[in-house]
Amino acid sequence: MNYRIEKDSIGEVRVDADHLWGAQSQRSLENFRIGQEKMPEEVISALVLLKKACALVNHDLGKLSGEKKELIVAACDDILTGKYPDEFPLVVWQTGSGTQSNMNVNEVISHICLKKVHPNDDVNMSQSSNDTFPTAMHMAALLAITNRLLPALDAIIREFKRLEEENEGLIKSGRTHLMDATPLSFSQELSGYRSSLEADREMICDSLKYISRLAIGGTAVGTGINSPKDFDILTCRKLSELTGLSFVPDENKFHGLTSRDSLVFAHGSLKALAGDLMKIANDIRWMASGPRCGLGEITIPANEPGSSIMPGKVNPTQCEALTMVAVQVMGNDAAIGFAASQGNFELNVFAPVIAYNFLQSVRLLAEGINSFRLNCLSGLKANREAMEGYLHRSLMSVTALSPAIGYEKAAEVAHLAHENDLTLKQAVLQLGYLSEEEFDRLMDYRKMI
């Protein structure tokens, strides 16, 4: 393997000549051989986009020459188009400020520019890792939610609306505590799932206004040392132009550097979504259970064989995948909460693990929702015969008789029917509480929903 010698403030280090990073990236590679979790590509892309914006603003402020600006911008554009996918190898488990990944980006850009720009003096001009990495975290989170998660949510909401319309008028037995309850329509049940996801979407969108506040301009400890006046405002304005999203400076940079509260808050809305997805997927696999020894109220697509030993078995695998995603997101929420509580004085030093877990949650939720929609919901069909059978066997429809005969007598009817395997009609006629005509008038399932 061919090497070249790179230098930093500590001294010389050998770097693989086939790669574009410098001494600080190489030291990180050698000193943190921990795990397989690499810095998320969303964070790298955000850092690169930030470097581009900073170069443009530094030039506008008269701090960076036009030639160096053009070199940095061109290098950033090349990276953003995927031209250098193997130049950002650092793991999550590095310095808690993300400094080494910030320098990895600075060094790669410098080498793409044939070292005509300095990684610290030019690419990192007016910045510190302590403000660029939190800024990149927020940018990556906002971009991922906007471009990946919200479209996935919108698509699954539309799918539930389609299922509601398709099953309009189909009445089934309700269930509470996993026990029989009063009737509802299948469309009403589906509307509950849809409304949950719509509420989750609203909560997620509400959280974005906090993520849009960036720490850039705070530099080392929040005072903005070596950052020119209005650098934060101009950089946020430039980022808004480049992304089409709205970014604003955090009004208090000491808060922006040391607190990760906005990501905790936003991830809480992701956990709420995960909780609803868990419930929805569980309901669907309960309703699809069978085919002969379960509820069998619905059928879902048979995507693959379900057993290596039981021929013909098919399992609700999309439900299982989505519920595992939900569990991971809930675990990520705990990690993010703990990490956000750490750090000392002017800096939170758990930034990489927060970024990794947050972006993993967004990615898993978006992809899990899309997979569940395409491979499960799109082929979901109601078993009308099964639903109607359970509806007519349910004892809890007796609730409709309570206004006429009272709660105690209605309960007596239900117990008699259950203990003697009678229908509600047979039980109420046997007890003499209602005539057949009266029973038929009261036991109107459509009026119950």
> Which of 341, 365, 384 lies at the terminal end of a domain, its last residue?
384
pLDDT at 384 over 90: yes
- pLDDT category of residue 312 using cuts at 50, 70 and 90: confident
Cα–Cα distance measured from residue 11 to residue 60, given in angstroms and rounded to the nearest whole number: 34
- Tell me what the mean pLDDT of segment 63-83 comes to: 98
Buried b (16+ CB within 10 A) or exposed e, 326-339: bebbeebbebbbeb
Clarify whether residues 197 and 294 are in a common domain: yes
Average pLDDT over residues 95-121: 97
- pLDDT tens for each residue of 166-178: 999 999 999 999 9
Overall average pLDDT of the 53-64 stretch: 98
The answer, yes or no, to whether residue 341 has pLDDT greater than 80, is yes
Q: Give the rounded percent of residues in the chain with a pLDDT score beyond 70.
A: 100
pTM metric for this prediction: 0.96
Looking at the fold, whether 264 and 146 belong to one and the same domain comes out as: yes
Burial 407-422 (b: 16+ CB within 10 A, else e): eebbebbbebbeeeeb
Residue matched to tokens 């395997």: 421
Question: Does 42 share its domain with 26?
Answer: yes
Q: Please write the tens of the pLDDT for every residue from 210-234.
A: 999 999 999 999 999 999 999 999 9
| Whether the predicted pLDDT of 163 surpasses 90 | yes
428 shares a domain with 380: no
Residue numbers of the domain that contains 46: 3-125
Q: Are 154 and 116 found together in one domain? A: no
pLDDT at 1: 77
**234 inside domain:** no
What is the number of structural domains in the chain?
A: 3
Grade residue 307 by pLDDT with cuts at 50, 70 and 90: confident
Question: Does the residue 323 lie in any domain?
Answer: yes
Active site residues: 177, 307
The string of pLDDT tens digits covering residues 236-261 is: 999 999 999 999 999 999 999 999 99
